[in-house]
């Protein structure tokens, strides 16, 4: 008999279905957005896999042929191995104890996923394991914090954000980034020397954003809110920006006149939020 579990906090509901030999998984909206950016047919490496819900779902849906599920913690990795076995996917999904990308070899994965972790931790993992990460065709990143810092790092180190999605789940907003190798400082895609098929839609969008606003503001909007999301006029981004406008205005209303420095910072933040709202909402 299949075990029934409810792991909604981790993005999955296990359900026993009478016409299936093994359990079937259902991803949360957040993890579904991550899964949607994984190119069909790619070999996956899920870094910080927790309980391996994402690779299980992608293999079950025949989206990917195989996966490596990695985590730095032995406990969650043991649970992941149990979930993989329960799904009957031991031959398709391998588990590895790994500190970030340490256990991934070059050319082992086509898609590297880092999801559900803080942005600074994500950047530390990518910087430490950049040699292996560069050999992947794409990264799918879902930072829980420091999103501006992640986008800025990608832009400054030559990796292009090819697409973005944003979802709101249980009152929290989650951006998801699909990243391709971009032109490096010398005009060469890092780790992809000789590629001729590369294009950087985000840079094209930043150029479009720059029409009518200063370049400094265009860069800030791109890093803070996502050039692709702004170009899409994404409804969830607009909702997020509207809430941010109200939040900042409420704080400003409660500040004493003497708090000039803090007031100036908040006014600048609100100015950029409102500029983002204009760009995300204009026809």
Q: What would the pLDDT profile of 147-166 be if each residue is shown by its tens digit?
A: 999 999 998 888 999 999 99
pLDDT band at 199 (very low <50, low <70, confident <90, very high): very low
**Sequence-ordered list of residues with C-beta below 8 angstroms from that of 258, at least 6 positions apart, any chain:** none
- Side-chain-facing half-sphere of 275: CA atoms under 13 Å: 23
Distance CA 144, CA 147 (A): 7
pLDDT band at 24 (very low <50, low <70, confident <90, very high): confident
pLDDT in tens, 26-42: 899 999 999 999 999 99
pLDDT band at 202 (very low <50, low <70, confident <90, very high): low
Burial 196-221 (b: 16+ CB within 10 A, else e): eeeebebbebbeebbeeeeeebbbbb
Q: How many CB atoms lie within 10 A of CB 224?
A: 19
Token pair, residue 86, equals 């329960």
pLDDT at 46 over 70: yes
The pLDDT of residue 259 is 74
pLDDT at 189 over 70: no
- Dihedral angle, C-alpha 206, 181, 156, 275, nearest 10 °: 20
The terminus-to-terminus CA distance of the chain in angstroms comes to 55
**Residues 176 and 167: beta-carbon distance below 8 Å:** yes
Mean per-residue pLDDT, 259-277:
91
* Domains defined along the chain, listed by start: 1-145 (3.40.50.150)
Strand partners, 13: 6, 26
Angle formed by the axes of helices 119-128 and 147-156, to 10°? 30
**Sequence-ordered list of residues with C-beta below 8 angstroms from that of 201, at least 6 positions apart, any chain:** 160, 161, 162, 163, 228
pLDDT at 10 over 90: no
pLDDT at 281 over 60: yes
The pLDDT of residue 77 is 96
pLDDT at 11 over 50: no
| Average pLDDT for the chain | 84
The pLDDT of residue 44 is 98
Distance CA 269, CA 9 (A): 32
Mean per-residue pLDDT, 173-202:
54
The pLDDT of residue 214 is 66
Mean per-residue pLDDT, 254-276:
88
**Residues 52 and 93: beta-carbon distance below 8 Å:** yes
The pLDDT of residue 21 is 54
The pLDDT of residue 183 is 33
pLDDT band at 267 (very low <50, low <70, confident <90, very high): very high
The pLDDT of residue 208 is 57
pLDDT in tens, 228-250: 999 999 999 999 999 999 999 99
pLDDT at 197 over 60: no
Q: What percent of the chain has pLDDT over 70?
A: 79
């Amino acid at each position: 008999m299949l075990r029934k579990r409810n792991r909604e906090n981790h993005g999955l509901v296990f359900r026993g279905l009478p016409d299936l030999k093994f359990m079937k998984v259902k991803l949360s909206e957040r993890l579904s957005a991550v899964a949607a950016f994984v190119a069909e047919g790619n070999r996956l490496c899920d870094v910080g896999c927790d309980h391996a819900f994402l690779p299980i779902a992608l293999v079950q849906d025949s989206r990917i042929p195989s996966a490596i599920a990695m985590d730095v913690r032995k406990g969650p990795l043991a649970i992941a191995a149990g979930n993989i076995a329960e799904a009957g996917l031991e031959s398709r999904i391998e588990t590895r104890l790994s500190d970030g990308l340490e256990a991934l070899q070059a050319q082992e994965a086509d898609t590297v996923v880092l999801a559900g972790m803080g942005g600074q931790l994500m950047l530390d993992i990518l910087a430490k394991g950049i040699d292996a990460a560069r050999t992947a065709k794409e990264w799918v990143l879902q930072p829980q914090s420091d999103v501006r810092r992640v986008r800025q790092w990608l832009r400054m180190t030559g990796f292009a954000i090819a697409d973005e999605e944003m979802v709101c789940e249980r009152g929290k907003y989650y951006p998801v980034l699909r990243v391709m190798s971009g032109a490096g400082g010398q005009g060469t895609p890092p780790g992809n020397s000789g590629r001729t098929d590369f294009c950087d839609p985000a840079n094209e969008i930043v150029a479009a954003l720059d029409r009518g606003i200063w370049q400094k503001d265009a860069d800030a909007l791109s890093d803070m809110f996502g050039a692709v999301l702004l170009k899409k006029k994404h409804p969830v981004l607009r909702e997020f920006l509207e809430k941010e406008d109200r939040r900042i205005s409420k704080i400003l209303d409660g500040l004493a006149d003497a708090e000039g420095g803090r007031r100036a910072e908040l006014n600048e933040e609100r100015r950029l939020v409102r500029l983002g709202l204009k760009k995300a909402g204009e026809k």
